Structure 1
Amino acid sequence: MGGRCSKFSPCCFPPPPRLRPPSAPPSSSDLRPENGGEGERESCPSFSFTEFRLEQLEAATSGFSPENVVRDADRGVLGVPGDVVYRGELEDGRSVAVKRCERGAWPDPQGFLEEAKSVGSLRSERLANLIGCCCEGDERLLVAEFMPNETLARHLFLRKTPPMKWAMRLRVAYYLAQALEYCSSKGKPLYHDLHAYRVLFDQDGNPRLSCFGLVKNNVDWRSYRTKLAFPSPEYFRTGTMSATSAIYSFGTMLLDLLCGKNIPPAHALDQIRSKNFLMLMDSALEGQFSSADAIELFRLASRCLQDEVRERPNAKSLVTILRSLQKEAEVPSHVLLGVKEEVSITEALVRTPLGQACSRMDLTAIHEILETNGYEDDEGIGTELSFQMWTKQLQEILNSKTRGDACFKAKEFAAAIDCYTQFIEGGLLASPTVYVRRCFSYVMNDMPREALGDAVQALVIFPDWPTALYLQAACLLRLGSEDQANQCLRDGASLEAKTNRH
């Protein structure tokens, strides 16, 4: 049984590390830089924008607990002054980032909802997408996908970690340019406060641009300056920001990637004009970079940092230039970034509709999948027919299964339990699918312990069947055994990953 216990109790599973199944990421092949370009694909997971109730987000963040406040490097709490970002978990198991806006930032609730929905209509695998909001009383909250591998600032500036590899810096610049091009193509070219804390890394190590910077805020942007951002010259002249302001900020981001630290653009431009490129390069790279590519990036940064907005390139041209500089395109981002790979298991989990449905206890989806799959997984399982095959009891036993299937399809789960029990007790055939269907019927009749016994029995009959493990997870979640449920999800996903490789 591949190391899994064949007992009827799930207690043989050792307590695993806590796992939060993420929302479905794009496949790793779709994320390779050579597949990108103008017209950024929208092949990210499809999910509708949700207007959450305040009580839902309170539950997701444990009452906006200080322990759930998202912090990074030396900057402390993420967000503009007065805003706080919390990590949370929704009822369906998705991890989210919940931004609680400063009181008074949005006095007009309708304006807030319209702005949030506008940004929430964007869907790109280059963005940490906005999936919902909340507007109750004085509360204004934004809900986005949670990115578990921290920010560009954390990986680039914090010297306790190995320096970011050159190929990864090029990829960050390229993906960020793609994000800006996508936003511009969708009528959202204005990005507020673009800096290294706005670039986040997802579960695969791919860089994404935070959607929070796309939401226009009513705070007075002249009342503060972020710790590491350098506002554009037009901001200083007029106190306003334009679509090309994001291009200026992109130029400062290129300097961050090249220099490994945040330096004033004016100083960098002086060095670039004097061709003192090596004076600016991040010494932590220890020469492990292409000099020609570095010079090209410095020149591109110089163009982005022009005082006159008409002299700056647009996002589309940034994508074109940066695509030609991509190195090691075949290497996954998590390898370049140096984060531990959880991908092989979690990708399999989220690729599979049943695994995903069980992880979030979507009973409607589980039923539909089991009904659609039918008995295809029973094929090839060795069976021994008893002497009853040759008696008049045979037809009645087979009929009980047929009646059970009809009841299961009609969602008459109590009747399905009776029919499947008659078939199982008849001893005609050891069918793991019948056990799984009775398991689900028990769940629907609020009998999780009986359901768990059937899920385990299905695994005894068919030791390498991910479906049985996923149903065990659903039962354990219903019983409140989250750690053991997560272990079953991981085991099921691991089995599927192994199957897909073969």
Structure 2
Amino acid sequence: MGARCSKFSFCWFHSHLKASVLESSDLENGGKNDRNTWPSFGEFSLEQLKAATSGFSPDNIVSEHGEKAPNVVYKGKLDKDRYIAVKRFNRLAWPDPRQFLEEAKSVGNLRSERLANLIGCCCEGDERLLVAEFMPNETLAKHLFHWENQPMKWAMRLRVALYLAQALEYCSSKGRALYHDLNAYRILFDKDGNPRLSCFGLMKNSRDGKSYSTNLAFTPPEYLRTGRVTPESVVYSFGTLLLDLMSGKHIPPSHALDLIRGKNFLMLMDSALEGHFSNDDGTELVRLATRCLQYEARERPNAKSLVTALMSLQKESEVPSYVLMGIPNEAASATQPLSLTPFGEACLRIDLTAIHEILEKTGYKDDEGIANELSFQMWTSQMQETLNSKKHGDTAFRAKDFSTAIDCYTQFIDGGTMVSPTVYARRCLSYLMNDMAQEALGDAMQAQVVSPEWPTALYLQATCLFSLGMEADAQETLKDGTNLEAKRNKN
């Protein structure tokens, strides 16, 4: 088992971290993982799309793409289990087939991992249909305004803002700076939980309704004056989305700006985020939203400067989006061990509450047999102080006061008079409860150094690695912990 510990030394850990999720491997071509997944833009026949959508069955109508009647979006399935989103326009939209084809091909030439890309169209008779990549994990509006299990984490909200800004910057660099009715329904989540911008909003609207919703409170002021969408109008809408991300609600910009001017920006923040973001980060995001919502269009930032500003705010950049979103991941689930103990199951789910219950129930029985050599002189006030630190730490741990537990256990460990793998395990979980996965991994590794044949140390390493997005190593470590526990139970 010693080799296992050395493998997870901090040098190895830092050198093998996944490439930062902030670094686009190839925005233009959709990234190395997506390259060749979809063919270049092409035309579909009406029969193909009828077959894919079961005859445009009402059962296949989806709301993920934020489209409203009469222009409906259907989920479809092509051969090889490829899912598509098919937008079907009403018969009055796009009367000129040539204009429709030219516009669709122009948008279809874009390829970015920040977009739900347009992969085809159909133009037969009165039918006008667009075909895009299907995004299975719903819209930002769903996760932000109508969440069921957990509110969207602060780190994920910052990532959504950055990825959206990167999408707009990419489109602008390709001559498609105009986006119609940018809102929380237009941002979709792919199978990995990454946010993507729907390509449908890049199409010139023709007779496909207005460029903005009828709610004037959220409409760029220049659009109200001229009826025209400009790149600056898109930035204004981006500002309203920043307000959505901060507040978890759809707040009219005028109301938000009044709060900001009155220096009451904390009243804007989602109450579910309390204690999970710094005032500096909140202030910076408010400042950026304010710049985007300037009445004069020329005073708003461009997409490139939005990306630059948001890059510096990113948190937990090494954690995959599906982990932050709490979304099951196909690649991770495909390699799950077949038979796990309750501890193993809790680690796989990163269920910290269940892990806490297990550690608390187990207590210190696994410390038995660990030699703690103490000189006569150490059986003094120093020894008593060290034991008191552990006692206070245990009290805080039971009460789920994990910050205090970290402080007390740190005093015990730094005292150096006793060695306890259980204290390392408990401080490890306390770190995880405080979103400090790297520190937690260090403690899990140290627990294994102290007690090499202790499955708990491996289980906790696996939890830390899952939290850090290191799936393959987490699965391997979880398997090792399961095998070690099985071997231990036999003896």
Smaller-chain TM-score bracket? 0.5 to 0.7
Does residue 91 in structure 1 map to residue 74 in structure 2?
Answer: no
Q: TM-score, normalised by structure 1?
A: 0.60
1:91–1:41 CA distance, 2 compared to 1 (3 A)? closer
For residues 101 and 150 of structure 1, the distance between their equivalents in structure 2, rounded to whole angstroms, comes to 21
Report the equivalent of 1:24. none
Does residue 263 in structure 1 map to residue 251 in structure 2?
Answer: yes
Report the equivalent of 1:216. 204
Does residue 240 in structure 1 map to residue 221 in structure 2?
Answer: no
Report the equivalent of 1:173. 161
Does residue 64 in structure 1 map to residue 56 in structure 2?
Answer: yes
CA apart distance, 1:340: 1.3
Local SS of the residue matching 2:287: helix
Local SS of the residue matching 1:92: helix
Does residue 45 in structure 1 map to residue 59 in structure 2?
Answer: no
For residues 175 and 163 of structure 2, the distance between their equivalents in structure 1, rounded to whole angstroms, comes to 19
Which among 80, 84, 92 is matched to residue 104 of structure 1? Answer: 92
Does residue 32 in structure 1 map to residue 21 in structure 2?
Answer: yes
CA apart distance, 1:91: 2.1
Q: State, as a whole percentage, how many aligned pairs show the same letter.
A: 66
Between stretches 231-240 and 175-184, larger displacement belongs to: 231-240
Does residue 274 in structure 1 map to residue 266 in structure 2?
Answer: no
Report the equivalent of 1:204. 192
Q: Deviations over 1:307-339 (max 9, x none)?
A: 111100000000001000000011110010111
Does residue 184 in structure 1 map to residue 169 in structure 2?
Answer: no
2:59 partner amino acid? E
1:333–1:142 CA distance, 2 compared to 1 (3 A)? same
CA apart distance, 1:346: 7.0
Local SS of the residue matching 2:177: coil
For residues 121 and 343 of structure 1, the distance between their equivalents in structure 2, rounded to whole angstroms, comes to 29
For residues 223 and 310 of structure 1, the distance between their equivalents in structure 2, rounded to whole angstroms, comes to 20
Local SS of the residue matching 2:183: coil
1:66–1:39 CA distance, 2 compared to 1 (3 A)? closer
1:42–1:202 CA distance, 2 compared to 1 (3 A)? closer
1:48 partner amino acid? S
Q: Deviations over 1:468-489 (max 9, x none)?
A: xxxxxxxxxxxxxxxxxxxxxx
Does residue 304 in structure 1 map to residue 292 in structure 2?
Answer: yes
CA apart distance, 1:38: 11
1:138–1:56 CA distance, 2 compared to 1 (3 A)? same
For residues 51 and 39 of structure 1, the distance between their equivalents in structure 2, rounded to whole angstroms, comes to 24
Aligned residues between the structures: 321
For residues 165 and 220 of structure 2, the distance between their equivalents in structure 1, rounded to whole angstroms, comes to 18
For residues 294 and 53 of structure 1, the distance between their equivalents in structure 2, rounded to whole angstroms, comes to 49
Report the equivalent of 1:284. 272
Kept in 2, the 8 Å contact 1:88–1:96? The answer is yes
CA apart distance, 1:116: 0.3
Local SS of the residue matching 2:263: coil
The 5-angstrom pairing of residues 379-458 of structure 1 reads none
1:57 partner amino acid? L
For residues 228 and 98 of structure 1, the distance between their equivalents in structure 2, rounded to whole angstroms, comes to 29
CA apart distance, 1:273: 1.3
CA apart distance, 1:78: 3.5
1:54–1:149 CA distance, 2 compared to 1 (3 A)? same
For residues 55 and 229 of structure 1, the distance between their equivalents in structure 2, rounded to whole angstroms, comes to 42
Local SS of the residue matching 1:294: helix
The 5-angstrom pairing of residues 356-371 of structure 1 reads none
Kept in 2, the 8 Å contact 1:40–1:181? The answer is no
CA apart distance, 1:106: 0.3
1:60 partner amino acid? A
Gaps of 5+ in 1: 1-27, 349-493
Kept in 2, the 8 Å contact 1:195–1:229? The answer is no
Q: Deviations over 1:284-327 (max 9, x none)?
A: 22321121111101110010011111100000000001000000
Aligned residues: CA RMSD = 2.7
CA apart distance, 1:243: 1.4
Which among 47, 51, 55 is matched to residue 55 of structure 1? Answer: 47
CA apart distance, 1:80: 3.8
2:284 partner amino acid? E
Which among 291, 305, 315 is matched to residue 317 of structure 1? Answer: 305
For residues 211 and 346 of structure 1, the distance between their equivalents in structure 2, rounded to whole angstroms, comes to 30
Q: TM-score, normalised by structure 2?
A: 0.61
CA apart distance, 1:227: 6.6
Report the equivalent of 2:283. 295
Report the equivalent of 2:110. 122
1:108–1:172 CA distance, 2 compared to 1 (3 A)? same
Kept in 2, the 8 Å contact 1:38–1:181? The answer is no
1:38–1:342 CA distance, 2 compared to 1 (3 A)? closer
For residues 347 and 246 of structure 1, the distance between their equivalents in structure 2, rounded to whole angstroms, comes to 42
CA apart distance, 1:36: 3.9
2:94 partner amino acid? W
1:122–1:206 CA distance, 2 compared to 1 (3 A)? same
Local SS of the residue matching 2:80: coil
Kept in 1, the 8 Å contact 2:322–2:328? The answer is yes
CA apart distance, 1:121: 0.2
Kept in 1, the 8 Å contact 2:27–2:113? The answer is no
Gaps of 5+ in 2: 1-16, 337-471, 481-491
Local SS of the residue matching 2:81: coil
CA apart distance, 1:278: 1.0
For residues 258 and 325 of structure 2, the distance between their equivalents in structure 1, rounded to whole angstroms, comes to 31
For residues 235 and 193 of structure 1, the distance between their equivalents in structure 2, rounded to whole angstroms, comes to 11
Report the equivalent of 1:156. 144
Local SS of the residue matching 1:204: coil
Local SS of the residue matching 1:86: strand
CA apart distance, 1:109: 0.3
The 5-angstrom pairing of residues 345-364 of structure 1 reads none
For residues 269 and 47 of structure 2, the distance between their equivalents in structure 1, rounded to whole angstroms, comes to 49
Between stretches 263-272 and 222-231, larger displacement belongs to: 222-231
Local SS of the residue matching 2:172: helix
Local SS of the residue matching 1:96: strand
1:53 partner amino acid? S
For residues 210 and 287 of structure 2, the distance between their equivalents in structure 1, rounded to whole angstroms, comes to 30
